[in-house]
Amino acid sequence: MHVDGPRRGQAAARVAFWLLLAAVAVLSISPARYLPPQAFSLWDKAQHALAFLGLGLLGLLAYPGRLLRLGLGLLAFGGAIELVQAATGWRQGDWADWLADAVGLGAGLALGLLSRRCAARSRAGRTAP
């Protein structure tokens, strides 16, 4: 069975998305002693933003027609991580972390939409007479 390029790319994006989602979940609930030390608290927020930027961007590549569902689902995922961290006893839930998740997610979705628009313009330019 032959899978064309765009479908293969979307399948690869789905695998990458779910692997990143699992990695974020595991790293988020692991005891802090197993994680690298934080140099300063701003880096912690940057890590949250970068993780959710990646999730938003990969999510749009993997599920291009599901922007609203993806965005709301990842916001809920970020909030759930903070609630689970608060319940563990070895991590702290922090709503500022959730805000960093939301900022990163917004940036990732915006980049994904921008890249989609640029690709559409590029395709339109190639097919114009």
Query: Is the residue at 30 inside a domain?
Result: no
Q: Is residue 32 part of a domain?
A: no
Judge whether residue 109 has pLDDT over 60: yes
8-state DSSP, 64: T
Is residue 115 assigned to a domain? yes
Cβ contacts of residue 128 below 8 Å, gap of 6+?
none
In a domain, 15, yes or no: yes
Q: Does residue 67 lie in a domain region?
A: yes
Which two three-digit tokens encode residue 2?
């032959």
Burial pattern 56-66, b for ≥16 Cβ within 10 A else e, equals bbbbbbbbeee
Contact 97, 82 (CB under 8 A): yes
Residue 60 scores a pLDDT above 80: yes
* pLDDT range class, residue 120, cuts 50, 70, 90: confident
Instruction: Give the DSSP H/E element, type plus range, for residue 37.
Output: none
Number of domains in the chain: 1
Residue range(s) defining the domain that contains residue 46 = 5-23+39-127
Q: Report yes or no on 33 lying in a domain.
A: no
3-state secondary structure string, 45-76?
HHHHHHHHHHHHHHHHHHCCCCHHHHHHHHHH
Could you tell me the pLDDT band of residue 1, with boundaries at 50, 70 and 90?
very low
